[in-house]
Amino acid sequence: MRTVTATERSADTARRWLEVDPDPDTRAETEALLADAGDAVQQRFGERLVFGTAGLRGALGTGPMRMNRVMVRMTASAIARHLLTGNGPNGNSADSDSTPLVVVCFDARHMSDVFADDTVKVLAAQGVASILLPGPLPTPILAFTLRSKGADAGIMVTASHNPRADNGYKVYWSDGAQIISPIDSEISALIDDAPLPTDDDLADADSPLITRAGQEEVVRYIDAATSVVQVDSPRGLSVVYTPLHGVGRDTMLGVFESAGFDEPLVVPEQGDPDPDFPTVEYPNPEVPGALDLAIALADDTGADIVLANDPDADRLAVAVPDGSSWRTLTGDDVGALLADHVLTGGSGHNRLVATSVVSSRMLESIAAHHGVRHAETLTGFKWIVRPGLLDPSADFVFGYEEAAGFAVGDLVRDKDGITAALAFAELAATRKEAGRTVIDHLHDLWRIHGLHRTGLRTIRFEGPDGESLMAGLMDHLRASPPGAIAGMVVVSVTDLAAPGSVLPPTDAIVFNLDGGRLVVRPSGTEPMLKAYAEVIDTTPGDDLHGAEVAATHLLDNLLDGAGLVLTGVVT
């Protein structure tokens, strides 16, 4: 009996996929792949996108290895079945009188609105109610509305700051946070067990289980967002703002107006939502060059500060004047400044601040200085908000990660680039009224907590052997850790995958150095190893400029050394 090859199995999957695909563009793509009869069919149909703790994310296109309507329908169906089989967050089951409720929203990327519409129809067909927000809207509005409505789950159709060719599917649970294990694996198993969905598996658009919300939920978010600033704090600030062709503009302007700030000046070339992101190569405000138009406008108009969101407005980037030029602050700089600002403006020993293990250790020092609690977590906001959820006595007031994600309070149990922008504007206005600058304040923190410089180095591993190469290098680092990296002595090594770790097991290694730290981990979404480096000058002295130059030189050396370690050149 002849064995069916992997290519033949993939072709069979492609033909079955073609039968149920409602999209003419991806149908044509499948037909072309089948006609070509090459390796591309197996690459697209041999496996599927991994459904993990960030949901789904990938390039648009046909097949289970891409984001498309069939893949979205399969995922929505799996989420509905999870909610209905006794595994839901509120214990719902098929025999329960309680109907699960899911809030759904979408950004302005290609196909986002179609994916959201398919989602609510699939949910309704299985007996799950939904509220479809009047997108395109920022991700924080979805996370806020989920909690305000007491919903069982939330779904945001977005690829955040990914390349323009991508889209994604971000899933939240009833606690308002992104899903974690085992929910992700349980939903993933349900995706595998389900037959391919057809149009008959969708409810009608006018199903009573589908509520199509108006602007009232947006207004509720805007009203609530102003709570992150004090009523009587300074408001005198000139702001230039860019949403980077994303969906943040209208909500951001509404929040600033509600809080009493002058309307930010929006970069005109980047103000309207545009899924092609025509003025930037990569729609990520952290990428060099992404803020060039905003900084140029701020320079021309004499603005005090530049604020930027990524396309779904859950991240924040900041640029400020520094002498005669402009300085784009790192995520760790913004995190330290916001943390100190939030803690200075509040009180209570049960206040909790949290950050990830790959972010700067300055937050721990700031927390100790203010006499509040500090938690270090795994990477991602699904973990950063977790200490506050697990301890009812804690008052979660601030969390951040180095990748420009910030949560001011627990209004939104995820990163929120809009409330973070408002809080930073309050910080800058307060400094301005006192005759000082944001950089002055950063220097004050350096004098108290030491000068911290952080950076990231990534090494890509493309091709079919990429995953095994990365795994081999991680195994080698565990078995034979280096005694020094770029001349910095390794004081201790912490393997976060080892039993007994204080954090949930994860594939990451922490090298504690004499004067810094290096954390190495594989990316969760791309074929790359990441090295997060930090150098610390505990006594920078009066010449802060000279100390920063020296620390930056040490950081560059450490990143270069990390690159050699990650490629196996140095052991």
User: Which residues participate in catalysis according to the annotation?
Assistant: 160
Count of residues in the chain: 571
d(CA 466, CA 472): 10
CA proximity to 152, closest of 196, 73, 93: 93
d(CA 41, CA 7): 7
Q: Cα-atom radius of gyration of the chain, to the nearest Å?
A: 24
d(CA 358, CA 330): 13
What is the H or E stretch that residue 403 is in?
Answer: none
**Tokens linked to 242:** 């860019």
Which string of b and e fits 301-333 if b means at least 16 CB within 10 Å? eebbbbbbbbbbbbbbbbbbbeeeebbbbbbbb
Residue 318 pairs with which residues in a beta bridge?
Answer: 307
CA proximity to 43, closest of 51, 53, 33: 33
d(CA 52, CA 33): 28
- E-assigned strands of 357-443? 373-377, 395-401, 405-408
**Residues with Cβ < 8 Å from 58, sequence gap 6 or more?**
49, 65, 66, 67, 166, 167, 168
